[in-house]
């Protein structure tokens, strides 16, 4: 059976630039995957090895915008074992936000001097009733809370009222003279829930020095990949860790805990794709991935109980990722149901095709695939159209052999292996082109041990064995 192509050599075959268009035979999966990256959904790809699951995950990541946030871990002077997280959006200086940084002491408005509570709009200067700063008139007596003499006091220098927003001051600075005769400032700051934060001179010094000394570590740089691949092999790799310090937090010897905080893959994938190949290998870690997906942040703590890192925890570390998971059909029961329902609730489960119909367009796709493999390998020459035709025949034979299907196989890693072997054999013969004979040689020599056993001992050693690679021996449901 000979297949005619409209090119002489694969160097003349057009290779698409769009990473999605390089994925052949999986049109439905590609259509959904494009949507996944536009809409930031999750994706579970189900199917045998070598059909393009990793390629799809990479394509999803490649079209995402570059990350916009930079994440720091900041030293917490009051409690070094609870470092803060700081999220910085460069170019938006005003939006530089610090989550949970706390200095000084928060007290009730009744505990601050009356004139301070009045300046902060928390107290009525006529009836002395307390109320929220958001109400302009005192709910107790109806008087306006804005004092007439505000300007005068500001000018006299005794009191400095700052009004950053809409004319309502959110903090008041007062002065006092200390025992040594030196004037000190006390800052009263209204909190969002109408309490008052009081910053004594020592709190202000602490704040200043920490800000000056930049006691913080860059956890996630702005320039980072939007594609992060995680394996279920290591808990610390996936979820982060706080490294051990043999000197603990000894003031002179030890390193401060914030310096030892290490992000996990879930954090590194913030704003990008977290690709977990073979999701089932995660076993008990699945529930942590689920939590991270739901909360979009996940604490980092020391995961080795015998380490000094174990007492350190950083809360609210952002991890807003798109999960792309891959799994073999037979391993589906090993996924915890809430994880699957989370993916389905906010994304898609997709079955990969194992073969495609033998049509003229799909034959061209095999030629495109062949050209792609050769041009990414860099070490092998291009192939003649006769060689591609021979590869196509083998692609049909594989579809028949493994999936008992009439069509062209999409288990393309197998075909990719054949192309590379053929290329090596062409090189060893100093041929500048992969010919049909090189493909024939490669087909003879590229059979897996399972295929060799199958040929020797019969047909029961079919799809099951080849889908599982190393793990299983029995044929799976796909054999049917
Ligand atoms: N649908 C496909 N289209 C083009 N090339 C493919 C496709 N599927 C697999 N390949 C080739 O096989 C290699 C392995 O594919 P991969 O995406 O890792 O498969 P999976 O993740 O499903 O095991 C790819 O790098 C690519 O060279
Ligand atoms: Mg893969």
For residue 257, report the distance from its CA to the centre of ligand 2, in Å. 37
User: Residue 441: what pLDDT?
Assistant: 96
For residue 57, report the distance from its CA to the centre of ligand 2, in Å. 9
| 272 backbone dihedrals φ, ψ, rounded to 5° | -130, -150
Which listed ligand is nearest to 48 at the C-alpha?
Answer: 1
pLDDT at 451 over 80: no
Q: Are the C-beta atoms of 183 and 90 separated by less than 8 Å?
A: no
Give 471 or 262, the one with higher predicted confidence: 262
> In angstroms, rounded to a whole number, what is the distance separating the alpha carbons of residues 165 and 189?
14
At residue 146, the 3 state secondary structure works out as coil
Q: Is the CB of 53 under 6 A from ligand 1?
A: yes
Q: Are the C-beta atoms of 50 and 43 separated by less than 8 Å?
A: no
239-253, 354-368, 386-400: least confidently modelled range: 239-253
For the domain made up of 356-446, give the CATH fold: Helicase, Ruva Protein; domain 3 (1.10.8)
Give 137's pLDDT tier (boundaries 50, 70, 90).
confident
pLDDT at 450 over 80: no
Q: Are the C-beta atoms of 382 and 435 separated by less than 8 Å?
A: no
The CATH architecture that domain 30-70+216-351 belongs to is 3-Layer(aba) Sandwich (3.40)
User: Residue 166: what pLDDT?
Assistant: 45
Tell which residue, 7, 1, 24, 2, has the closest CA to residue 385.
7
pLDDT at 94 over 50: no
Most confident segment among 298-307, 379-388, 444-453 = 379-388
pLDDT at 100 over 50: no
| 456 backbone dihedrals φ, ψ, rounded to 5° | -80, -45
What is the arithmetic mean of pLDDT over 302-327?
92
User: Residue 256: what pLDDT?
Assistant: 87
pLDDT in tens, 106-120: 999 999 999 999 989
Q: How far is CA 124 from the centre of its chain?
A: 50
Rounded percentage of the chain residues whose pLDDT exceeds 70: 84
User: Residue 47: what pLDDT?
Assistant: 96
| 139 backbone dihedrals φ, ψ, rounded to 5° | -70, -10
Q: Is the CB of 354 under 6 A from ligand 1?
A: no
pLDDT at 434 over 60: yes
pLDDT at 449 over 60: yes
Domain with CATH 3.40.50.300 in the chain: 30-70+216-351
Domain with CATH 1.10.8.60 in the chain: 356-446
pLDDT in tens, 64-92: 999 999 999 999 888 889 999 999 888 65
Q: Is the CB of 54 under 6 A from ligand 1?
A: yes
Give CB contacts under 8 A, 24+ apart, made by 336-344. Answer: 336/286, 336/287, 336/290, 338/287, 338/290, 339/286, 339/287, 339/289, 339/290, 340/44, 342/42, 342/290, 342/293, 342/294, 343/42, 343/43, 343/44
User: Residue 185: what pLDDT?
Assistant: 86
Q: Is the CB of 467 under 6 A from ligand 1?
A: no
Q: Are the C-beta atoms of 140 and 129 separated by less than 8 Å?
A: yes
> In angstroms, rounded to a whole number, what is the distance separating the alpha carbons of residues 264 and 236?
6
Q: Is the CB of 51 under 6 A from ligand 1?
A: yes
Give 477 or 172, the one with higher predicted confidence: 172
For residue 470, report the distance from its CA to the centre of ligand 1, in Å. 19
Bridging pattern class, strands 196-199 and 183-190: antiparallel
> In angstroms, rounded to a whole number, what is the distance separating the alpha carbons of residues 323 and 44?
8
For residue 283, report the distance from its CA to the centre of ligand 1, in Å. 25
What is the arithmetic mean of pLDDT over 51-65?
97
User: Residue 164: what pLDDT?
Assistant: 35
Q: Is the CB of 269 under 6 A from ligand 1?
A: no
For residue 60, report the distance from its CA to the centre of ligand 2, in Å. 14
Q: Residue 122 corresponds to which tokens in the numbers above?
A: 């928390």
Q: Are the C-beta atoms of 10 and 439 separated by less than 8 Å?
A: no
Give 221's pLDDT tier (boundaries 50, 70, 90).
very high
């Amino acid at each position: 059976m000979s297949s005619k192509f409209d090119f002489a050599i694969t160097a003349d075959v057009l290779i698409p630039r769009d990473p999605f268009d390089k994925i052949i035979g999986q049109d439905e999966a590609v259509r959904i995957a494009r949507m996944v990256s536009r809409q930031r959904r999750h994706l579970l790809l189900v199917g045998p090895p070598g059909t393009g699951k990793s390629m799809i995950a990479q394509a999803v990541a490649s079209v995402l915008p570059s990350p916009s946030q930079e994440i720091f871990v900041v030293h917490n002077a009051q409690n070094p074992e609870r470092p803060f997280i700081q999220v910085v959006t460069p170019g938006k200086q005003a939006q530089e936000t610090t989550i949970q940084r706390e200095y000084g002491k928060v007290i009730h408005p009744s505990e601050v001097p009356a004139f301070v509570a009045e300046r902060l709009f928390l107290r009525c200067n006529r009836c002395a009733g307390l109320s929220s700063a958001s109400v302009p008139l005192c709910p107790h007596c109806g008087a306006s809370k804005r004092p007439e003499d505000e300007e005068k006091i500001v000018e006299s220098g005794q009191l400095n009222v700052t009004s950053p927003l809409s004319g309502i001051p959110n903090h008041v600075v007062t002065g006092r003279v200390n025992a040594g005769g030196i004037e000190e400032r006390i800052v009263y700051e209204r909190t969002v829930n109408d309490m008052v934060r009081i910053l004594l001179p020592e709190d202000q010094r602490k704040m200043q020095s920490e800000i000056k000394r930049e006691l913080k570590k860059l956890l996630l740089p702005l320039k980072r990949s939007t594609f992060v691949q995680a394996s279920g092999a290591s808990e610390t790799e996936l979820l982060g860790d706080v490294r051990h310090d043999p000197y603990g937090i000894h003031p002179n010897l030890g390193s401060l805990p914030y310096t030892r905080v290490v992000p996990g893959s879930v954090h590194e994938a913030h704003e990008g794709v977290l690709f977990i190949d073979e999701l089932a290998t995660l076993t008990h870690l699945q529930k942590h991935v689920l939590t991270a997906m739901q909360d979009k942040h996940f604490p980092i703590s020391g995961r080795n109980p015998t380490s000094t890192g174990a007492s350190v925890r950083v809360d609210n570390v952002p991890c807003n990722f798109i999960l792309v998971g891959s799994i073999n059909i037979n391993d589906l029961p090993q996924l915890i149901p809430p994880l699957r329902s989370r993916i389905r609730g906010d994304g898609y489960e997709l079955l990969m095709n194992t073969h495609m119909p033998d049509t003229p367009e799909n034959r061209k796709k095999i030629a495109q695939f062949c050209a792609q493999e050769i041009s990414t390998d860099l070490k092998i020459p291009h192939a003649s159209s006769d060689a591609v035709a021979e590869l196509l025949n083998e692609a049909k034979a594989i579809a028949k052999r493994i999936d008992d299907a009439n069509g062209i196989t999409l288990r393309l890693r197998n075909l990719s292996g054949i192309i590379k072997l053929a290329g090596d054999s062409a090189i060893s013969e100093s041929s500048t082109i992969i010919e049909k004979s090189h493909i024939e040689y490669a087909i003879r020599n590229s059979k897996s041990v399972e295929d060799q056993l199958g040929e020797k001992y019969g047909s029961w050693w079919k799809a099951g064995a080849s889908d599982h690679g190393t793990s299983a021996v029995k044929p799976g449901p796909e054999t049917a």
